[in-house]
Each structure stands twice: as structure tokens, then as C-alpha cells.
Amino acid sequence: MASFLLAAVVVGYAVIALINSLLMATAERRSEFALQRLIGATRGQVMWMMSVEALVTAVVGIVLGTGVAAGALLPFGIALDGSALPSGPVWIYLTILGTAVALTFATILLPTSLALRARPMEAAFAP
């Protein structure tokens, strides 16, 4: 039971770090979004650009996270039962992937849509 609690704390910390990093990085780009709008980009085009960026961010995070986890879990699995494949159900991994993608999209697209509410001329020169 203690190992589940420890895992929950580690996952919770990672989720908070993900949300904080992506929210702040996206929110700091308000003037960039405003300048794109001033040169003719529509709200939809800016949101599409950020959706593609969110997808790339999620894919890179999933690939790197899977690699780091595999680097730690494969030797452990081989030492315990001689198999490199994890013995747990696949739905756990798929749930983690889905949650990572959903959090990435939410924490990038929500501040982007909020930043696009301001008038481009005012947001471009705001501090």
C-alpha cells in the first residue's frame, strides 16, 4: 500500500510540474499570438498552430517518458521473472498515454484561447 501512495505522490508531482510549465510557457506568448493576428492570422489558424504544437509536445513527452520508464523497468523485470515485457495490463499504459495527451492539450490550448480574447493591438504591446 505504501508503494501505491509513493507512486501517487510522484505522479501527482509530475502532473503539477507539467501543468505549471505548459501554462506559463503558453501564457508568456500572448504578444506572439497578438502579432500573428496583426499580420493576418485568424484565431482558428493560431489555435491550429498551437494544436499541432501540443501534439508534437505530447508525442515527444510520451516517447521520452516511455524510454525513461523502460530503462528503469526492463532490467527490473528481467531480474525478477526473466521477461523484458511488463506483466501488467495494457490499459494502464493506455490510460497514462491518454491522460498525458489530454493534459498537454488542455494546458496549451486553454491559455491560448484566453490570450486570443484580447484585441491584438492591445495584447501586442501589453507588458
Question: In the chain, what percentage of residues exceed pLDDT 70?
Answer: 96
Between residues 4 and 20, which one has the greater pLDDT? 20
Q: What pTM did the predictor assign?
A: 0.82
pLDDT (mean) for 35-62: 94
pLDDT tens digits, residue range 80-96? 888 878 777 889 889 99
* H/E run at residue 45: helix 43-81
Q: Would you state the pLDDT for residue 127?
A: 65
Largest CA distance in the chain: 63
Q: Would you state the pLDDT for residue 22?
A: 87
Distances (CA, A) of 108 to 2, 21, 71, 100: 34, 10, 29, 12
- Of 10-14, 27-31, 50-54, 121-125, where does mean pLDDT reach its minimum? 121-125
Contact 112, 53 (CB under 8 A): no
Average pLDDT of the residues of the chain: 88
In this model, does residue 62 exceed pLDDT 70? yes
Between residues 60 and 126, which one has the greater pLDDT? 60
Q: Would you state the pLDDT for residue 44?
A: 93
Q: Would you state the pLDDT for residue 28?
A: 86
